[in-house]
Chain A
Amino acid sequence: MPEKKISKAALYWKLFSSTFILSAFTVGGGYVIVPLMRKTFVEKLHWIEENEMMDLIAIAQSAPGPIAVNTSILVGYKIAHVPGALITLLGTILPPLIILTLLSYVYSAIKDNRIVKTLFFGMGIGVAVVILDAVTSMATTIIGTKKILPIILMILAFIATYILKWNIVIIIISCAIIGIIATMLPLVCKKNPPKEGGNR
Chain B
Amino acid sequence: MIYWQLFWSFIQIGLFSFGGGYAALPLIQKQVVTVHGWLTIQEFSDVVTISQMTPGPISLNAASFVGTRIGGVAGAVVATVGNVLPSLIIVLTLAWFYFRYRSLKVMQGALYGLRPAVVALIASAGLAILFLALFGKAELPISSADISWFAVIMFVLAFIYVRVKKPNPIIIIALSGGITVLLGLIGIPI
Grouping DSSP codes into helix (H, G, I), strand (E, B) and loop, the A interface class, with mixed when no group exceeds half, is helix
**In the complex where A28-B169, A157-B116 touch, is A73 in contact with B87 (Cβ < 8 A)?**
yes
Q: Given the known inter-chain contacts A121-B180, A150-B115, please indicate yes or no for A126 contacting B50, CB distance below 8 A.
A: no
Query: How does the 8 Å CB contact mask read for B122-141 relative to A, with 1 for contact and 0 for none?
Result: 11111101101100000000
Do the beta carbons of A130 and B90 come within 8 Å of each other?
no
Docked Cα-Cα span, A60 to B176, in Å, equals 33
Q: Is B18 an interface residue (CB 8 A)?
A: yes
Closest to B62 in A: A100
A183 CB contacts on chain B under 8 angstroms: 105-106, 108-109, 112
CB-contacts of A105-145 with B (<8 A): 105, 107-108, 111, 115, 118-136, 138-139, 142
Q: Do A129 and B45 have beta carbons less than 8 Å apart?
A: no
Main secondary structure of the interface of B (DSSP, over half): helix
Which of A65, A74, A124, A133 contacts B49, CB < 8 Å?
A: A124
On whether the beta carbons of A30 and B57 are closer than 8 Å, the reply is yes
The contact string, 1 if C-beta is below 8 Å from chain B, for chain A 28-43, is 1111000000000000
B10-25 interface code vs A (CB 8 A; 1 in, 0 out): 0010111111111011
B84→A154 contact, CB < 8 A: no
Inter-chain contact A99/B54, CB cutoff 8 Å: yes
Residues of A within 8 A of B50 (CB): 100, 103, 107
* Interface size in chain A (residues, C-beta < 8 A): 98
Contact B126 A64 (CB under 8 A): no
A151 with B84: CB separation less than 8 A: no
Tell whether, in the assembled complex, residue B162 and residue A130 are in contact, meaning their CB atoms are under 8 Å apart. yes
Q: Are A64 and B88 neighbours in the complex by a CB distance under 8 Å?
A: no
- Given A64-B87, A65-B17, CB of A120 within 8 Å of CB of B170: no
Q: What are 29 A-B interface contacts by the 8 Å CB criterion?
A: A26-B55, A28-B170, A29-B21, A61-B19, A61-B111, A63-B107, A64-B17, A68-B56, A73-B95, A93-B84, A96-B55, A96-B60, A97-B80, A100-B50, A100-B54, A101-B68, A118-B180, A126-B49, A127-B45, A129-B155, A129-B158, A142-B116, A160-B120, A169-B16, A175-B114, A182-B109, A184-B106, A195-B112, A199-B19
- B interface residues with partner A (beta carbon < 8 Å): 12, 14-22, 24-27, 30, 43, 45-46, 48-61, 63-65, 67-69, 73, 76-77, 80, 83-84, 86-88, 90-92, 94-95, 98, 104-127, 129-130, 132-133, 151, 154-155, 158-159, 162-163, 168-170, 172-181, 184-185, 190
Additional 7 contacts, C-beta under 8 A, given A122-B178, A136-B163, A176-B110: A30-B20, A74-B95, A95-B55, A96-B64, A121-B133, A153-B116, A153-B117
